[in-house]
Each structure stands twice: as C-alpha cells, then as structure tokens.
Amino acid sequence: MVTVRGGDSGFWIMEVDKGGYWEFLLGAKLRMTHGDGFQELFNDFMLRVHGDDFTPVKPHGALGDGGMDGALGNSVFQCYGAENGHVIDAARVCKKMTADFNRACETTPSMERWFFAHNLVDGVSRPLVDSLEQIKTRATKINVEAGFFGLHSFRQLLKKMTEEDRAAVLGVRAQDDLMLARLPAAVNNLISALMEEIKPIMETYTSRSRVPRDKLTLNNISRHWTYQFEYFLMFSPISRAVMRRLGGEKQSLLLPSFFRLRYEELKHEGMTSSQILNTMKALLAGNVRNLDDDLREFAAMTILADLFESCVIFEETRQEANQDEIYDLAD
C-alpha cells in the first residue's frame, strides 16, 4: 500500500491500496505471454490457487490432449494465447475454439463446464463472441456450461494468492520503497527523451475547457485501465513536478499537446480507447518484452495517468464510440 505526496524536500510515502499495481502487472504479463507460454502461465495461476485439484494436460503422442489443456473437477479448460494479446486471424481462432469444444465433448463425457482461457486483455472481438454463443447453444442441450476465462477470471485468482505468489507468478518483485525512490529519476528520463523529440510542435498547444467529471465513461475506459489510472494518479505529482522543472510552465505543455495530436490520429484510425492507451504507453516506455523493465513501465503509467487526469489527450465531449471491443463476459 503506497501513495506519494510532494513537498519542499521531495516525495514521501504513505499507505494506500496496491490493487491497481497488481492490475498493471497482470495486464502486462498476459499481453506478453502467448502460445505454449500462455498455457504455462495459466497452469501456474491455477496450481497456486487450487493445488493438486487442478490437473495440467499435455498432448501425448498421437492421442493429443483430448480437447483439454487443464481440468479442475468436472471443469475443462482450453487455452489460447494471442501474441501481444491481439487476435490477427479471428476466423482461425473461432474454428479452433469450436473444434476444441467438440473434441472435449467426445473425450470427456463427465464434463460439466467448458472454458476458453485467453489473454485478450483489452476485449474479445465480436466473431469470438458469436462463436461462443453458438457453442453455448449446443452445450445447453447436453447440460454443459460454456464461457470465456479471461482478465476478470485471472484477476480473481490473483486476489486469492499471497503477495509472494503474486510476485512469483507475474515474474516481478513486489513494489517496494526502493522502486518509489527511483521513480522520479525514471519519469525524468522518459519525459526528457520525449521532449527532445516533440519540440517541433511547441506552438500547437491550445487552451482546453474544464475537465469533465465523467471522463472515464466519456472516453469508454475499460475496468482494466480504470483500476490502473486510479492507482497511478497517486504518483501524478512526480510527473507534473518533472515537467515543470524541465522547461517551466509553457514548456510543460509540450508533452500534453503531442499526445493530444497522437490521440486524434489514432482515433481517426478507428482504434478503441484501450488500443489507444496501449499505443501511447508503448510510445512512452517502448515495447517491453519482459518485466525486468518494470520500473520503466511503472514510470510510463505514471505519466500516462497524469495526462489523463488533466484530460488534455482525451475527448472533452461525447462522440460516437468505436464498438469493436466486447469485454470478458465474466467481467
């Protein structure tokens, strides 16, 4: 539990909830784990919570896996880990999902529940939802429950773990005072590098209207990102202090102006709010392939949350939202 407040002598630490920090790490871990690696991650989550009651399943020669990657009692799980948490070929995934369900029905007559576990943190595409509905129709006829096992389900497992298990399964250390002590320098490094790149747009900034109170709803921000923003806003004084120190009041408008332009470009490309936020975080921190760079990711989220708080990179009035995101049905 940590919060940071500014003062003449720097920043000091107080107690607050860490839930948003674990949400941040969970989303990053799911996105960067795909294929067999995702199945191993899923197994690790389940074994830490359910112990030997959960059975991981691997293919055995020509017999295959019988349409299941894991079993918990009469519940069967099939895993799909997309690269970077994004489906490229939805038709292929839908075909695989249907085939996996049919195979599980053939090989496991005792099955009562079937779940398609995935790492699609920012939402399930419509074709996958339609395929699941078709599977549910068939499943109901044989008294089987079918559904997705996504971000919400992983979140529930994470809540049941000790802090040591959480750190182990996510492959990172728990947040500590040392990380927070290093945070101002990390924020400074990211902002300094970006300001050098965006000087050409120095004069493009225009004044903005007041921040709308319903900005989370207005910008269609998912629960996953909301949890993170609520947590990282506690560190926004660091981001603001760094921007002011680097260039004064006028210069500190450079970064918000740059991100506002990027937001408009990405919005015109048809990206959803979650896709835009992922792109902007990558712009700040780079595409992090492992969590050894968790401090850099932490600093990037601190800056992004601060920009969101001022609302300079998000919409001020409601516009027609992109509707291609459908969140985990369990969420």
- The answer to whether residue 162 scores a pLDDT higher than 70 is yes
| Mean pLDDT confidence for 237-245 | 80
Based on the domain organization, do 190 and 114 belong to the same domain? no
Based on the domain organization, do 156 and 244 belong to the same domain? no
Based on the domain organization, do 50 and 84 belong to the same domain? yes
Based on the domain organization, do 80 and 30 belong to the same domain? yes
Determine which of 73-87, 110-124, 230-244 has the lowest per-residue pLDDT on average. Answer: 230-244
pLDDT at 304: 87
Q: Read off the pLDDT band of 226 (50, 70, 90).
A: confident
Based on the domain organization, do 103 and 217 belong to the same domain? no
Torsion angles phi and psi, residue 124, rounded to 5: -95, 130
What is the domain range of residue 246? 176-310
pLDDT at 80: 95
Contacts of 312 (CB under 8 A, 6+ apart): 208, 256, 257, 259, 260
Name the average pLDDT for the chain: 77
> Is 212 among the domain residues?
yes
pLDDT at 118: 96
Based on the domain organization, do 272 and 298 belong to the same domain? yes
> Is 218 among the domain residues?
yes
pLDDT at 200: 57
How many domains is the chain partitioned into structurally?
2
CB 222: neighbour CB atoms within 10 A? 21
* Overall pTM surpassing 0.85 (yes/no): no
pLDDT at 254: 67
Based on the domain organization, do 163 and 217 belong to the same domain? no
| Mean pLDDT confidence for 299-312 | 78
- The answer to whether residue 41 scores a pLDDT higher than 60 is yes
pLDDT at 111: 96
Based on the domain organization, do 131 and 57 belong to the same domain? yes
Q: Read off the pLDDT band of 8 (50, 70, 90).
A: very low
| pLDDT: which is higher, 148 or 221 | 148
Q: Which of 267, 244, 234 is nearest to 24 (CA)?
A: 234
> Is 224 among the domain residues?
yes
pLDDT at 281: 84
pLDDT at 99: 94
> Is 136 among the domain residues?
yes
pLDDT at 216: 55
Contacts of 167 (CB under 8 A, 6+ apart): 173, 174
